[in-house]
Amino acid sequence: MVNYKELGLVNTRDMFARAIKGGYAIPAFNFNNMEQLQAIIKAAVETKSPVILQVSKGARNYANQTLLRYMAEGAVEYAKELGCAHPEIVLHLDHGDSFELCKSCIDMGFSSVMIDGSHLPYEENVALTKKVVDYAHQFDVTVEGELGVLAGVEDEVSAEHHTYTNPEEVIDFATRTGCDSLAISIGTSHGAYKFKPEQCHVDPATGRLVPPPLEFAVLDAVMEKLPGFPIVLHGSSSVPQEEVDTINKFGGKLEAAIGIPEEQLRKAAKSAVCKINIDSDSRLAMTAAIRKVFAEKPAEFDPRKYLGPARDNMEKLYKHKIINVLGSENKLAQC
């Protein structure tokens, strides 16, 4: 058993309470490798922002659970080395699909876990979430539950259609499970292809697809039922079109890739939405930089020469999200 506090990590409880009060959201960035982790930590330190390092089941298998433990501990020490004496870093399991996976992550030093029972019948979702909460809270690990289903594909998580969260269920769910935060469905979607072209309209000025707006009425109804309760948005990448254009320019084939407009995420961040998940944008920034190097320097084979620019491009993206979308810069309790 490795307690997250031994690694210098924190859970989400205090940072979420401050975010709701302050009208901003904590960045929850998924990562799979060292370059992504370096970029996240550099961006968080330079902007003085709390940060959530998210790991999906697939990413955990890819990186190895033992290495992840030491990467998380290293991330804390790296932040201190960069000049942040009191970093606020969470290691969070994204879309845990079983009690056993959540328990394993908690036992290996995760400070927060998500149990996603949204695909189950309601009572089964409640029972599974409560089981995870009961175990996690013994070790002061925070738990995120989910109501509603997001469309799209992300690692092992996929759904053809979304189902909006039913506001009438949230009080019962939060009370009976004891979860610390709740992921809801208001129209965000997983992956880089969040909407089908027929769901969008074309901006006559740019010729680009514009997605349908988020259902803020559902969010408002949830907040009315659960005032001050931490709300989470998954599938909130904006799919920057400049990165898509770079990928396509240098041999990629991303057609009709579209995300959530950043102005809608800024609006959400000012509400009880205190955690916003971003994954695909990082993948796009990394891929765009690598494709550019390969196209312009076809003889290059040193991984540092293409992963370095990829890391820099991701850091730029993370800083932009923190400062211009989430508003979490300069929000560390102690610097």
Tell me which residues are annotated as active site.
94
119 is in an annotated binding site: no
**Which DSSP category does 8 fall into?**
T
Tell me the residue type at 61: N
**Which DSSP category does 276 fall into?**
E
**Which DSSP category does 197 fall into?**
G
Strands 157-159 and 151-154: antiparallel
201 is in an annotated binding site: no
d(CA 126, CA 136): 15
For the CA atoms of 286, 291, 293, 297, the dihedral, rounded to the nearest 10 degrees, stands at 160
Residues in the chain: 335
CB distance 273 to 236 below 8 Å: no
169 is in an annotated binding site: no
162 is in an annotated binding site: no
- Record the tokens describing residue 29, joined without a space: 């960035």
Per-residue CA distances from 220 to 21, 57, 217, 223 (Å): 16, 31, 5, 5
255 is in an annotated binding site: no
Which residues line the annotated binding site? 95, 116, 146, 190, 234
Which residue positions form the known binding site for Zn(2+)?
95, 116, 146, 190, 234
